[in-house]
Structure 1
């Protein structure tokens, strides 16, 4: 089995021959980043993926409810307070 030589991103773009495509077709050459978000960053709970309003002050784990935070503090918090 022959080992293929690594190709740079520029070589891959050149081989794809993207220049003649119409302007409405998105390509790597025409990709643009949208404006920055004006809303605050959303946080999600690591276990269930729900929106997380609360954070453990010891380890930084995010929670969706106070009840889950109590369970975490009693059983799963990995940071120890000196």
Structure 2
């Protein structure tokens, strides 16, 4: 009795996408990511209700006078942060004349395109046959097949 890989057996049952279907799948995945990134953090305004004890207090610090809490600039950066779309719109309103984000262009590179692994981000040499995603090693291929391959349906 010979052993065979379950991955090879499943590969014959999977469909292979053409280039147009891969582009549609990639566009749909990017739109889903944009939707996820657009929302504000639901936990941004949570306030701890329980006071954390300060173990290094001395008798002098236990007096009835309390210091007023001051908020740092970092607090306001996090509280009133803007999305990428808001920053681009603000840039266009402040500086309508070029150069600005909307008018920035660069010529195409003279160097060949670099390809990176869809799982870990390292340079990749291999392509997943069903979906066209790139991977760099067998471990990343296993992760891709288990969690990502064909996750987004066309």
Shorter-chain TM-score bucket reads 0.3 to 0.5
Would you tell me which structure has more helix in proportion to its own residues? 2
TM-score with structure 1 length normalisation? 0.46
Please say which structure displays the higher CA radius of gyration: 2
TM-score with structure 2 length normalisation? 0.28
